[in-house]
Amino acid sequence: MSGELGVAVDSGAAERPAGVQPIQAIQKAVAVLNLFTSQEPELTLAEIADRLGMSRATTYRYLMTLRGTNLLAYDATRGVYALGVKTLDYAEVIRDTAKFTSAFVQRAEPVLRRLSEETDHTAVASVWSGDSPVLVRVGTHVRRMVVIAMPLYSCLPVFDSAQGRVFLAFSAEARRMHASDPRFRELESELERVHREGFASHDVSAEGGMTTLAVPVLVDDTLVGVIASLVFNPVMRESERVLIQQALKRAAAELAARVRAENGERA
């Protein structure tokens, strides 16, 4: 299905716009960094070259470039490489958001299931991943004749989805990513309304008609994710829309409380 349902993608690969080719040098540099884990924080030149299937000379050039940007460090006495001090800056940037997002994903499913039971519509949760919302949890109540199925880890449209508009309204990262897009400027007044009301709605006429209603999940003013109801209905009464909006906001408040409590226990 198209539009609001987004596009299913391989969980091991990021979606990229049609016609845009990846930059191989950057891919290889990222591949080098991805070799370093908590289990293997240090690696030799030979180990890196072997695992990436590159010659030692080529691997050495990548390592020197990464050292020059402080993304890698080198211990000459032992001949091993490790992640450099610059990566600590990145860790600091994402630390608080990442811990909230992890708890959001883990705690979303039962909240979505109850939301689906209450509204009799499919409920979903999404997080921001790179440049778009990604579906991470689905709650479906099977009483309905029509159930909207969405594959996990589908990428959702940024501008043409209720979830994307909530992220644009509440996430500085999302706005920075898409601020230069003409569609962002076209939607500015709508995004101001979404931020003010804490609610977005988007209609899709394809596939018989569907409306998605979405709200942010905020923990201490930090956006950790978005939950939404998918309504397979070409004509939705305003009274039904209001009831679903109210149910969504209650579910968002419950999920935010669960995320806050979990991180309080970890602290």
Residue 196 shares a structural domain with residue 261 = yes
Task: Report residue 93 as tokens.
Answer: 């940037």
Which amino acid, 49?
Answer: A
Looking at per-residue pLDDT, the higher value among 152 and 69 belongs to 69
What was the pLDDT predicted at 15?
43
CATH number at residue 160: 3.30.450.40
Give the domain range for residue 70.
35-84
User: Cβ–Cβ contacts within 10 Å for residue 221, how many?
Assistant: 6
Confidence of residue 5 (pLDDT cuts 50, 70, 90): very low
What was the pLDDT predicted at 7?
32
Query: How many domains does the chain fold into?
Result: 2
Mean per-residue pLDDT over the chain, rounded: 84
Choosing from 84, 100, 119, the residue where a domain stops is 84
- Three-class SS state of 6: coil
What was the pLDDT predicted at 145?
43
Which amino acid, 237?
Answer: R
* 239 domain residue, yes or no: yes
Q: Could you tell me the pTM of the whole model?
A: 0.64
User: Looking at the predicted structure, is the pLDDT value of residue 221 above 60?
Assistant: yes
**CA triplet 252, 254, 258: central angle to 5 degrees?**
115
Closest CA to 126 of 104, 141, 147, 97: 104
Which amino acid, 162?
Answer: A
Mean pLDDT, residues 210-239: 90
Confidence of residue 10 (pLDDT cuts 50, 70, 90): very low
